[in-house]
């Protein structure tokens, strides 16, 4: 027993960092007092480090990669040994890391589960600010899409900003417990992608997030040791590379489905460091491409209804930037041309600017539908300038400009338009004259009433005024 303790103490001393001058000594002494070369010491350290790394790797990729709870075979309930506070803290940290790796174009939030969510009343309250910004102001049906692609319909109560009918079914199907954390990502109108982070279990999310991080850390440590031992400088520089970004879950699943291999096969025991590094770089490059290809491109001819219509620019979804009314009207404009009006938009344009261009295009189309012969030439000119600017960004609005030019010509340049405008002007003047006559007639009635009232006063006061005038004259003519 004492020999084993001594051996573990020796191994612990080996993996502790040594001062710079100790690392550069020509010889170092082990626990038995024997001298060893730096290469032998480094090899032993790498062997110990590899053993610890293998154990960590097995811990990270344990679980059930590629499947969610509702798709696995039913198992006996797992005893949860951790306290709720500890489990929630651990799960919340992992959930926030998952959220940070999601596509920012899709709004998302993190929700920790409490007893009322999964045990008593089965009610899921959502963040009020998120609901006011991205969800309808009236009750609606919300779809939750789990990691297997299975859909769950439930009722969204707007004034309570929460999910009610259907939430219990989702909890039971995914075996949710108090302390688990969910990451909600809005990927469409009233449609959420939900990632489940278990409180006491490492899920496939941990495999996605931890595998590359661990792989990169191992290679960085190995590269550092080899560099200190005097290995080739070029080889150590090639192994010291920036840690790849953690994988979004959707990309990991997509890669595993294509390869047909479990996630644990990405980095196998005994695999050369260079080969595993190349695999990490390959997956990391797929992540960068995955952000641009977050949704597959579709042809407009494949869209059968408004429910299938999504506004995609460089693979990024813009539905959340526009109201449902605007998207519905824009869908009708696209149907009129049997094509996406934004399919040739300039690459790299700010997404909010593109959303503003689409919204302005819809508003101008509505204004053109509501214009009349009384619409001024300045309004037509303003609409044409806005459409021309949209066209410079690549929007297909040529048919709107053509229609606008036709309306402008009919309203101002044709002979019939001139006569019609004179007719409209004469009709307007006649209405104004009728109003003046009506006002004068009303004034005349008032004047007649005033005349009659004054006439009655004259007849009633005439005799009294004459008598008083006589008396006054008598006083005037009286002697002094």
Checking 206-210 for CB contacts under 8 A at 24+ apart, the result is: 206/60, 206/63, 206/94, 207/60, 207/61, 207/63, 207/65, 207/252, 207/263, 207/264, 208/246, 208/247, 208/248, 208/249, 208/252, 208/263, 209/94, 209/97, 209/98, 209/101, 209/246, 209/247, 210/60, 210/61
CATH number of 81-201: 2.40.330.10
Residue 373 contacts residue 420 (beta carbons within 8 Å): yes
Give the predicted TM-score (pTM) of the model: 0.35
Q: How far, in Å, CA of 399 to CA of 335, rounded?
A: 13
What's the rounded mean pLDDT across residues 159-180? 85
What's the rounded mean pLDDT across residues 328-354? 91
Give the model's confidence band at 62: pLDDT under 50 very low, under 70 low, under 90 confident, else very high: very low
Q: What is the DSSP letter of 242?
A: P
DSSP for 179-228, written as a single string: T-EEEEEEEETTEEEEEEE-SSS--HHHHHHHHHHHHHHHHHHHHHHHHH
Domain segments of the chain: what residues?
A: 2-60+212-243+267-292, 81-201, 300-413
Mean pLDDT of the chain: 71
Total Cβ atoms within 10 A of residue 214:
17
Backbone angles phi, psi at 143, to 5 degrees: -110, 125
Residue 124 contacts residue 167 (beta carbons within 8 Å): yes
Residue 149 pLDDT: 81
Residues 6+ positions from 169 with CB-CB distance below 8 Å = 152, 154
Ordered strands of the 181-188 beta sheet: 108-112, 181-188, 191-197, 140-145, 151-157, 162-163, 124-125
Q: Is the pLDDT of residue 444 over 90?
A: yes
Instruction: Give per-residue pLDDT as tens, 246-303.
Output: 344 443 443 444 444 433 333 333 344 344 344 433 444 333 333 333 455 678 888 8
Q: How far, in Å, CA of 112 to CA of 116, rounded?
A: 11
- Alpha helices, DSSP H, located in 229-295: 233-239, 249-259, 273-292
Phi-psi region of 380 (alpha: psi -120 to 50; beta: other; left: phi over 0): alpha
Give the model's confidence band at 235: pLDDT under 50 very low, under 70 low, under 90 confident, else very high: very low
């Amino acid at each position: 027993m004492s020999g084993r303790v001594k051996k573990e103490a020796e191994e612990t001393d080996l993996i502790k960092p040594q001062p710079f001058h100790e690392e550069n000594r020509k010889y170092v002494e082990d626990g038995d007092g024997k001298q060893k070369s730096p290469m032998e010491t480094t090899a032993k350290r790498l062997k110990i480090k590899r053993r610890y790394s293998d154990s960590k790797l097995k811990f990270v990729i344990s679980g059930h990669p590629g499947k969610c709870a509702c798709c696995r075979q039913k198992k006996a309930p797992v005893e949860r040994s951790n306290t709720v506070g500890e489990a929630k803290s651990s799960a919340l940290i992992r959930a926030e890391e998952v959220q940070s790796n999601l596509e920012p174009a899709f709004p998302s939030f993190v929700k920790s589960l409490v007893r009322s969510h999964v045990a008593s009343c089965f009610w899921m309250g959502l963040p009020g600010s998120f609901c006011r910004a991205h969800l309808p102001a009236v009750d609606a049906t919300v779809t939750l899409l789990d990691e297997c692609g299975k859909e769950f319909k439930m009722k969204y109560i707007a004034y309570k900003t929460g999910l009610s009918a259907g939430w219990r079914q989702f909890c039971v199907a995914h075996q949710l417990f108090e302390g688990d954390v969910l990451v909600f990502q809005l990927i469409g109108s009233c449609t959420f992608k939900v990632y489940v982070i278990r409180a006491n279990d490492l899920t496939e999310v941990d495999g996605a997030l931890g595998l590359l991080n661990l792989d990169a850390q191992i290679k960085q440590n190995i590269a550092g040791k080899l560099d200190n031992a005097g290995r080739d400088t070029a080889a150590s520089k090639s192994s010291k590379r920036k840690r790849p970004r953690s994988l979004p879950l959707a990309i990991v699943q997509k890669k595993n489905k294509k390869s047909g291999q479990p996630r644990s096969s990405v980095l196998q025991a005994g695999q050369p460091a260079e080969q595993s590094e190349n695999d990490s770089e390959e997956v990391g490059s797929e992540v960068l491409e995955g952000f641009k290809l977050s949704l597959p491109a579709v042809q407009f001819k494949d869209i059968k209804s408004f429910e299938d219509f999504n506004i995609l620019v460089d693979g990024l979804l813009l539905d959340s930037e526009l109201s449902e009314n605007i998207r519905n009207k824009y869908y009708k404009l696209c149907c009129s041309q049997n094509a996406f009006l934004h399919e040739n938009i300039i690459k790299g344009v700010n997404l909010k600017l593109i959303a503003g261009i689409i919204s302005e295009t819809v508003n101008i189309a509505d204004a053109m539908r509501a214009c009349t012969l009384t619409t001024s030439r300045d309004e037509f000119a303003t609409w044409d300038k806005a459409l021309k600017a949209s066209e410079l960004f690549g929007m297909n609005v040529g048919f709107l400009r053509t229609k606008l030019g036709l309306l402008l010509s009919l309203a101002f340049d044709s002979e019939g338009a001139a006569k019609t405008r004179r007719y409209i002007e004469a009709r307007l003047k006649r209405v104004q004259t009728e109003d003046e006559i009506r006002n004068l007639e009303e004034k005349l009635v008032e004047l007649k009433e005033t005349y009659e009232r004054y006439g009655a006063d004259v007849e009633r006061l005439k005799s009294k005024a004459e008598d008083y005038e006589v008396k006054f004259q008598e006083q005037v003519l009286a002697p002094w």
